[in-house]
C-alpha cells in the first residue's frame, strides 16, 4: 500500500465538499465522537459499556470543528471528505495509513486498558508479532521474507516503546494481513462499534465503525465511519456524500455497495476483531 501512495492519491482525487453535515446533527462545541454527532430523529445511540472497545471508540477526542485533515508531513489533505478529525498524533513518517490506523486504535485501546498481553498483529508474511515479546526486549529481525525475534533491549512497557512497536507493525502490515486476521460478520444488521469494512490489496482500503445507532421500531441501524488514507494522515470521520440528509451517519439499508468518499465496499467486506 505504501509503495503506491503518490500515484493512487493523484488518481483518486475527487472534491466532495468541505461540509455536508446537517446543522441538527452536529454539536460544534463538543469534543468526542459520541457528543459531537447527534443521531437522526427516531434513532437511539447504542451505548458502549465502560471499559469496552466500543466505549473507547465512542469517546475518542476530536479536534475543534472545522479542523483540516493533515498529512504526516503537515500538509493539508486536499480532498475534503471529513466531518471531524480525531485528536491523535500520527507520527512524522508515511506509515499510519488505512489499515494501520485501525491497528493503532485497537492497540491503543488494549494498551490503555492494561490488556497489553493481548496486543498482537500479523505481518503480511503471516508472522505474528506480539507486544508481549517486545516488552521483554525482543526486537524483530527481518531478512527478505524471513522474520524472527532477537533479544536487543532491556525489558520495558513504556508508551514510547509501544509507539515504536506500532510503527514496526505499520511498516510490515496492511490491508492484506489485517483482512486475514479478522472474522466475517455474516449480516450487515449485526454491525457493531469496532467492526471494519476492509478489502485487502495493493492498494486495498479499510474503514472503522466508531459509533452505531438503532431505530427501535424498524430495527434499522446507522453507523459512523473513520479512516486514514494515503499518504498517512489524521484519522477522520467520513461524510456520507450519498445521503447528505443523515451525514455523517450511514445506514445499513444500502444496496450491494457501501459508497464512501474514497472507496466502495460490499456487505461481505464487513469484519470484526476476534
The predicted pLDDT at position 144 comes to 83
pTM for this entry: 0.92
> Residues of the chain with pLDDT > 90: what percent?
88
The predicted pLDDT at position 19 comes to 57
Q: Which domain holds residue 42?
A: 2-272
Decide if pLDDT at 16 tops 50.
Answer: no
The predicted pLDDT at position 201 comes to 94
Q: Region 180-186: what's the mean pLDDT?
A: 97
The predicted pLDDT at position 15 comes to 40
Q: Region 129-153: what's the mean pLDDT?
A: 94
Decide if pLDDT at 7 tops 90.
Answer: no
Decide if pLDDT at 10 tops 80.
Answer: no
The three-state DSSP-derived secondary structure of the chain is CHHHHHHHHHHCCCCCCCCCCCHHHECCCCCEHHHHECCCCCCEECCCCCCCHHHHHHCCEECCCCCCCEECCCCECCCCCEEEEECCCCCCCCCCCHHHHHHHHHHHHHHHCCCHHHCEEECCCCCEEEHHHHHCCEEEEEECCEEEEEECCCCCCCHHHHHHHHHHHHHHCCHHHHHHHCEECCCHHHCCCCCEEEECCCCCEEEEEEEEEECCCCCCEEEEEEECCCCCECCEEECCCCCCCCCCCEECCCCCEEEECCEEEEHHHEEECC
Instruction: Give residue 9's pLDDT band: very low, low, confident or very high (50, 70, 90).
Output: very low
Give the number of domains in the chain: 1
- CA-only gyration radius of the chain, Å: 18
Distance CA 161, CA 176 (A): 25
- Cβ 214 vs Cβ 221: under 8 Å: yes
- Lowest-confidence region among 11-20, 29-38, 250-259: 11-20
Decide if pLDDT at 12 tops 50.
Answer: no
pLDDT digits (tens, 9 = 90+) for 148-159: 999 999 999 999
Decide if pLDDT at 5 tops 80.
Answer: no
Amino acid at each position: 500500500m505504501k509503495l503506491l501512495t503518490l500515484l493512487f492519491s493523484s488518481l483518486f482525487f475527487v472534491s466532495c465538499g468541505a461540509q455536508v453535515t446537517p446543522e441538527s446533527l452536529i454539536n460544534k462545541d463538543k469534543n468526542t465522537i459520541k457528543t459531537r454527532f447527534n443521531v437522526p430523529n427516531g434513532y437511539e445511540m447504542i451505548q458502549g459499556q465502560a471499559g469496552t472497545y466500543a466505549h473507547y471508540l465512542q469517546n475518542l477526542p476530536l479536534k475543534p470543528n472545522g479542523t483540516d485533515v493533515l498529512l504526516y508531513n503537515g500538509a493539508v489533505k486536499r480532498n475534503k471528505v471529513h466531518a471531524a478529525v480525531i485528536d491523535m498524533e500520527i507520527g512524522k513518517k508515511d506509515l499510519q495509513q488505512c489499515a494501520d490506523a485501525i491497528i493503532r486504535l485497537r492497540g491503543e485501546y488494549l494498551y490503555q486498558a492494561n490488556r497489553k498481553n493481548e496486543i498482537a498483529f500479523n505481518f503480511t508474511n503471516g508472522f505474528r508479532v506480539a507486544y508481549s515479546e517486545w516488552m521483554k526486549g525482543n526486537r524483530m529481525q527481518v531478512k527478505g521474507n524471513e522474520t524472527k525475534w532477537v533479544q536487543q533491549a532491556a525489558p520495558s512497557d513504556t508508551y514510547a516503546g509501544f509507539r515504536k512497536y506500532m510503527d514496526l507493525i505499520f511498516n510490515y502490515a496492511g490491508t492484506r494481513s489485517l483482512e486475514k486476521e479478522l472474522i466475517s460478520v455474516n449480516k450487515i444488521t449485526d454491525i457493531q462499534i469496532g467492526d471494519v469494512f476492509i478489502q485487502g490489496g495493493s492498494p486495498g482500503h479499510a474503514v472503522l465503525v466508531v459509533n452505531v445507532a438503532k431505530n427501535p421500531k424498524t430495527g434499522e441501524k446507522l453507523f459512523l465511519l473513520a479512516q486514514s488514507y494515503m499518504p498517512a494522515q489524521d484519522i477522520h470521520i467520513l461524510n456520507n456524500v450519498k445521503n447528505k440528509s443523515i451525514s455523517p451517519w450511514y445506514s445499513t439499508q444500502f444496496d450491494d455497495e457501501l459508497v464512501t468518499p474514497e472507496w466502495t465496499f460490499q456487505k461481505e467486506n464487513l469484519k470484526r476483531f476476534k
